[in-house]
Structure formats: C-alpha cells, structure tokens
C-alpha cells in the first residue's frame, strides 16, 4: 500500500482487446510469466485468467482478470500496470466495453495467421468510443506465418487505426508469439517479444492526467459478498478520491442508497484511500449484494452538483454506422429502441429524432437526437456510448445535454 502515495510510481490501466482466439488470454499469461522472471510480476496462468468470474469470487480480491505487473522507467521511476483481459464467455462484448471504459490504453491483439477480423474492427471502434485513445498492436501467432504476411497485417492494422482517428503512424506494432513466450522460448518471437511489448507501452503510453477533484465517482464493474464482512463492489475510479469511512451514494437503475465505505482495497491490500485511475474494491456497509447492479455508480456526496445528474433523458450527438462499417442497412426512425452501452452499464434506450419532422436517419448520418433510457442513471457531462442491435454495433454517441426526467 505504501507505493500508492509514492511519487516515483505511476499507474497505468491497460488491457487486451481483439478477435476471439487471436491470443489475448495467452498473451496476458505470457506477460506475467516473462515479467515474473524479471521480478516484475506474479505469474498468472492461462486457466486462472480464463475461468468464469463466478468461480473466482473468493475473499476481498480484485477480479482476477485484472493482473498487474511493473516496469522500470528512466530516472528511477517505476510504473505499475493494471491489465484487464476480458473473459471469453457469454457476455463477451458487454464485458469488453465495460473493461475498455476503464483502460488508459489497449493492447490490440491480432493473429497474423488470420489478420483483421470482424471483432478486431469492432473492438477498436468500441474501445475508441469508450475513451481509449492509444493502442499498441501485438501481431500474435507470428510463428505461423512468413515475414511478408506479417508486413501485410501490420499495414492492415495501421489502416484500421487510421480509420478510427488513432495515430496510425506512431502506434507501435510488436510481432511475436504469445504461445512461445508463455512456453519460455528465448527466440525473438518468444520471451523477448513480451519485453518489446512492455517497452512499447512504457514509451508510447503516458499516464493520463487524473481528475482528483470531488465528487469521487466509481462505476461498479462487479459485486460480490464476503462472508462475515459484507458486500464488496469493484471498479476503477473515474475521478476524485475515496477514503475509508467516507459517506457515499450507490446510484443507478432508478435506485439511490446511502452507505459508508468501510474498507478500501487496492491490489488486494487495505489502503487508506484510492484516487482517480485506481482499480479498487470497496466494502460497503449494510448493502445486500443482490441490490447492487453492474453499472451503478458509487459516488461521493461532497461534489459539484453539475458533475453528475440522475436522469433517463438527454440529448446526444449520434453517428449511425454505415453498412460498410458493419452498421445497419436500413434507416432509423423516431422510436428506434435498442440496447445502449455506456461505462459499465447497458440499458434499453429509445431514440427520438429532432426536429420532430425529421423523417429518418440514414446509415452514415450524424445527428442530434433525443435519448430516453428505460431507467434513470447518473450521467456525467460528455459521457460517451454505443448502441448495438442483433449483436453488432450500429451507433456511437456522446451526451450533449441532460434533461429533466
Ligand atoms: P483469446 O480468445 O484471444 O483469449 O485467445 P487465446 O489466448 O485463448 O488463444 C486461442 C488459441 O490460440 C489457443 O489455442 C492458444 O494456444 C493459441 N495461441 C495463442 N497464441 C499463439 C501463438 O502465438 N501461436 C500459436 N501458434 N498459437 C497461439
Ligand atoms: Mg481469452
């Protein structure tokens, strides 16, 4: 817990994204294995990363899909990475969006043997929309292809990043094999590839400026009960500072409940406080676990009223994806209702086109629309979201004005 207040330590939240089976979980295990050899991580095996979260809920521990590792920077500074690998089961995209909303940068994993696939594109879009502005590409399964294929996939990735407004030229691209690295292979595609990847993260990703001003805000990513102690909620602080014994509110899905934080846990240790950017577990007094839903916010009661407001109505700047971007073929009319994803929550949402006489929105159109959520949620200024229909992303948006419920 001491290093929390150590100015020579910086905290960066990262995670793996990309198409299923391209090697995200193997790479996550490989990073911890190789860095464990260097004394900069504890090894977390593939199996303990990929198990369903329900099986892992023991004690007050942070979701094990969050692994952590260290690197040494110049000038005696150290960096601690908190790394999320989304479990590859049913609610996959929901978890991915929720995970990405907590990342400062993403490791985009693409198997060189397959190249860009639908979820490679979708994850870049969703992560960018969730606020991830820097990515490092890991061209995985380089053991299966020739050098010219690697070059081609690298080009393809730079084009994809460019299309989504990321810095395609400066983005580091690292070739390797997560499978060889986790097996301890000393060849260039094995362990050294992991070292190159971490060096690329160190050099390319800067710790973002964290807003520590009140109110403290933490979207709930997960909740579980700890026998004899109560309910723990986990998540990453979006802003502010939370301290043990702070009075807080648990808000969302039409509910609002007052409670007290009786313990703050970071990296499995009790700490006196946590600040914006930290991934933590908060023990809440007198809150039954079944009353907590992912997507609720835990927030401080001492902040600027304008930061958060609870409503189910707002206006938004919306972009309807074109068919070639994987979006709808058909236009959208007033009353269009689908699932809206933002931060760690998702809800049914209805769109109303404005002005009212506007007949329809065509795929590829930008417009200002009215949004009505099925439940009242605490909303931040400029909050971003995506909408999905039949398992594909069809729209991206940004909140403009919060309206009275
Ligand atoms: P995820 O769905 O993206 O998390 O992918 P996994 O990490 O579960 O890997 C999917 C499959 O690809 C597994 O069978 C891995 O052993 C295999 N795999 C992962 N990395 C490599 C690699 O570098 N080379 C080869 N040949 N196979 C790999
Ligand atoms: Mg996986």
pLDDT digits (tens, 9 = 90+) for 260-290: 999 999 887 899 999 999 999 999 999 999 9
Report the helix count and the strand count for the chain, using DSSP H and E: 8, 24
Cβ(16) – ligand 1 distance below 6 Å: no
Tell whether ligand 1 has an atom less than 6 A from the beta carbon of residue 143. Answer: yes
CA 117 to chain CA centroid, Å, is 20
Q: What's the pLDDT tens digit per position in 284-327?
A: 999 999 999 999 999 997 777 778 899 999 999 999 999 999 99
Q: Is 326 in the pocket of ligand 1 (CB under 6 A)?
A: no
Residue nearest to atom 28 of ligand 1 (CA): 179
**What pLDDT is stored for residue 55 in this prediction?**
43
Average pLDDT over residues 173-177: 98
| Alpha carbons 383 and 283: distance in angstroms, whole number | 27
Q: In testing the pocket of ligand 1, which one of 26, 65, 89, 197 has its CB within 8 Å of the most ligand atoms?
A: 26
What pLDDT score was predicted for residue 95? Answer: 82
373 DSSP β-pair partners: 349
Q: What is the DSSP string of 132-188?
A: ---EEEEEE-GGGS-HHHHHHHHHHHHHHHHHTTS-TTTS-EEE--HHHHHTT--ST
Give the closest residue (by CA) to ligand 1 atom 19: 23
pLDDT at residue number 5: 60
Token pair listed for 271: 């700490």
- Determine the pLDDT at residue 90: 46
- Which ligand 1 atom is nearest residue 88's CA? 2
Judged by average pLDDT, the poorest of 111-115, 229-233, 384-388 is 229-233
Q: How much is the pLDDT for 59? A: 34
Q: What is the pLDDT of residue 134?
A: 97
Check if 66 has its Cβ closer than 6 Å to any atom of ligand 1.
no
- Report the candidate in 389, 396, 306, 288 with the shortest Cα–Cα distance to residue 342: 396
Q: What is the pLDDT of residue 267?
A: 80
Predicted pLDDT at 51: 63
pLDDT band at 227 (very low <50, low <70, confident <90, very high): confident
The gap from C-alpha 202 to its chain's centroid, in whole angstroms, comes to: 19
Say yes or no to pLDDT of 3 above 60: no
66 Rama class: left (phi>0) / alpha (psi -120 to 50) / beta: beta
Residue with CA nearest ligand 1 atom 10: 21
pLDDT tens digits, 83-135 = 998 755 546 788 888 889 999 999 999 999 999 998 899 999 999 999 999 99
Minimum CA distance residue for ligand 1 atom 14: 21
The 10s digit of each residue's pLDDT in 329-363 is 999 999 999 999 999 999 999 999 988 778 899 99
Model pLDDT, residue 80? 94
Peptide bond before residue 355 is cis, with ω within 30 degrees of 0: yes
Which residues are annotated as catalytic? 21, 24-25, 89
The pairing of beta strand 135-140 with beta strand 105-111: parallel
The mean pLDDT of 169-187, rounded to a whole number, is 98
CA distance 46 to 65: 10
Q: Quote the ipTM score.
A: 0.99
353 C-alpha to ligand 1 centroid (Å): 44
Cβ atoms of residues 68 and 13 within 8 Å:
no
pLDDT confidence of residue 269? 87
- Tens of pLDDT, residue by residue over 15-62, are 999 998 999 999 999 999 999 999 999 999 988 887 655 444 443 333
Q: Which two tokens stand for residue 254?
A: 């039409």
241 Cβ inside 6 Å of ligand 1? no
Q: Is 185 in the pocket of ligand 1 (CB under 6 A)?
A: no
């Amino acid at each position: 817990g001491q290093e929390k207040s150590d100015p020579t330590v910086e905290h960066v939240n990262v995670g793996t994204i990309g198409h299923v089976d391209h090697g995200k979980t193997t790479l996550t295990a490989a990073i911890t294995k190789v860095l464990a050899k260097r004394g900069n991580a504890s090894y977390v095996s593939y199996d303990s990363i990929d198990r369903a979260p329900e099986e892992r809920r023991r004690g007050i521990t942070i979701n094990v899909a969050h692994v952590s590792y260290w690197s040494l920077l110049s000038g005696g500074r150290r960096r601690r990475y908190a790394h999320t690998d989304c479990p590859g089961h049913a609610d996959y995209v929901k978890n991915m969006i929720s995970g990405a909303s907590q990342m400062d940068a993403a490791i985009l994993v693409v198997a060189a043997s397959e190249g860009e696939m639908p979820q490679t594109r979708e994850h870049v879009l969703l992560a960018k929309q969730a606020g991830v502005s820097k990515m490092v590409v890991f061209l995985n399964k380089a053991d299966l292809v020739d050098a010219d294929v690697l070059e081609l996939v690298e080009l393809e990735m730079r084009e994809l990043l460019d299309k989504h407004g990321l810095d395609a030229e400066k983005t580091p691209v690292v070739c390797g094999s997560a499978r060889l690295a986790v097996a301890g292979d000393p060849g260039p595609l094995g362990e050294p590839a992991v070292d190159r990847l971490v060096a690329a993260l160190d050099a390319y990703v800067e710790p973002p400026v964290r807003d520590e001003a009140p109110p403290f805000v933490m979207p709930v990513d997960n909740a579980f009960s700890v026998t004899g102690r109560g309910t723990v909620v986990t998540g990453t602080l979006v802003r502010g500072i939370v301290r043990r014994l702070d009075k807080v509110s648990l808000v969302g899905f039409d509910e609002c409940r007052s409670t007290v934080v009786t313990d703050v846990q970071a990296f499995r240790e009790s700490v006196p406080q946590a600040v914006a950017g930290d991934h933590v577990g908060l023990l809440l007094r007198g809150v039954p676990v079944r009353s907590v839903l992912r997507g609720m916010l835990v927030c401080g009661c001492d902040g600027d009223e304008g930061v958060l407001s609870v409503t189910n109505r707002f206006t938004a700047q919306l972009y309807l994806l074109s068919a070639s971007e994987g979006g709808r073929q058909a236009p959208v009319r007033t009353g269009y209702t689908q699932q809206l994803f933002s931060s760690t929550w998702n809800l049914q949402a209805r769109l109303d086109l404005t002005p009212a006489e506007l007949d329809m929105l065509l795929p590829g159109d930008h417009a200002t629309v009215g949004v009505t959520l099925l439940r009242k949620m605490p909303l931040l200024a400029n909050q971003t979201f995506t909408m999905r229909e039949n398992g594909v992303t069809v729209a991206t948006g940004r909140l403009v004005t919060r309206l009275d419920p």
